[in-house]
Amino acid sequence: MPPTEEDLINWGTEIGTLAFSEKIEKSQLEKLIASLESVKDPRLALYVTAAFALRQSQREERGKALLTRKFAERVASILQQIYEANGSKTEARKMLRFAKWIVEASTGRQIRPVKTLKEFIDSLSVEDVGARL
């Protein structure tokens, strides 16, 4: 049985907040999504994208890795979990698109990595309360 929508949202939140905290460019998330689409086989695409993420962690631009090792390994791990749950690139695409939304929602905020959407929303509420004090 494929992962639940809640799993995908929480993994997307985890990946998005990790990407934001590690200053990974949004374009790198877009490249991960594009790598999913580069393979016809909907399940094999998960492993291809995991390999792509690990490759990007080894590539440098302006003296900095395109993806941090920690981020790439977590993406690969989540993609493997989706595969093992009989998921496909449909679920992976949803998760990565949600991660991109989280990065966009984090702009201009002090965000730390969290594992669930609830934790993310709670952290925004705490930040907003702190800003009003």
Condensed to tens digits (0 to 9), the pLDDT of residues 58-107 reads 998 877 889 999 999 999 999 999 999 999 999 999 999 999 999 999 99
Residue 127: predicted pLDDT: 59
2/86 Cα distance (integer angstroms): 5
CA 91 to chain CA centroid, nearest Å? 12
For the segment 3-11, the average pLDDT, to the nearest whole number, is 98
Q: How far apart are the first and last CA of the chain?
A: 47
- Quick check: 9 pLDDT over 90? yes
Distances (CA, A) of 3 to 7, 61, 64, 79, 85: 6, 34, 34, 11, 6
pLDDT for residue 126:
66
Q: pLDDT tens across 12-66, in order?
A: 999 999 999 999 999 999 999 999 999 999 999 999 999 999 999 999 887 788 9
- State residue 60's pLDDT score: 83
